[in-house]
Amino acid sequence: MTTKQIISILRNGGEGVMPTDTIYGLVGSALSPKTVERIYRLRKRDLNKPMIILISRIADLKLFGIKVDYKLKHQLFKFWPGKVSIILECKSKKFVYLHRGKKSLAFRLPKLSWLRNLLKKTGPLVAPSANIQGKPPARTITQAKKYFGKTIDFYLNRGKLLSRPSTLIKIIESEVRILRKG
C-alpha cells in the first residue's frame, strides 16, 4: 500500500496499524468522532480512558482549542519532538469524545520526520497501542493481525519494534509530573 493510499484512508475515516515513534499504533483521525469510537470498540478499550493524539507541529494544538503561550511553548520544546506524550487541559465539550470527560488530552509530537510529514497530510491521529486492552502491545504486524485481522483498513510494516510506549507527563504550573515512564 502506498503512502498516498494510507493518507486517503485516514482522511476518509479509516483505521490502520502502523509504526509510531515508539510502538505500533492503531491509528485513525482524532478529528472524527466516528473513527475514534470505532477504535475504542476494536481495542475493547475502557471507554473512560482517553487516547494519545499524534500531531505534526505545536500549532496543531489550536485544532483542539488549546492556547499555547510562550511559557507553554518553551516547555513543550524541552520534550518535543520526541517519545514523550504530554497531557494538556482541553475543556471543550466539542472534544468530549476524545477526553471522555477528563477535560484533558495527551499529545505527542513524534521525532520521526516521515511520521510528522504523514501527520501534516492526515491531520492529528489517535494512536493507542496496537493491541486489545490488557494484552501485550503488538511488536510486529503479524501480532497486530492476530488482534485485528481484516477488521481494519491497512497495516504498515516496519519490522519488529522493540521500543517501549511513550513516557507520559503532565505539566502543572511549570512543574513536570511523570505519570508513566517509557
Instruction: Indicate whether 171 pLDDT > 90.
Output: no
* Distance between CA atoms of residues 102 and 16, nearest Å: 26
CATH of region 3-180: 3.90.870.10
Q: Looking at the whole model, is its pTM more than 0.85? A: yes
DSSP string, 32-51: -HHHHHHHHHHHT--TTS--
Tell me: the pLDDT tens digits for 134-145? 999 999 999 999
H/E stretch holding 17 reads: strand 16-19
Confidence band of 166 (pLDDT split at 50, 70, 90): confident
Q: At 168, give phi and psi (nearest 5°).
A: -115, 120
Tell me the pLDDT tens digit for each residue of 46-85. Answer: 999 999 999 999 999 999 999 999 998 999 999 999 999 9
Better-scored residue on pLDDT, 166 or 141: 141
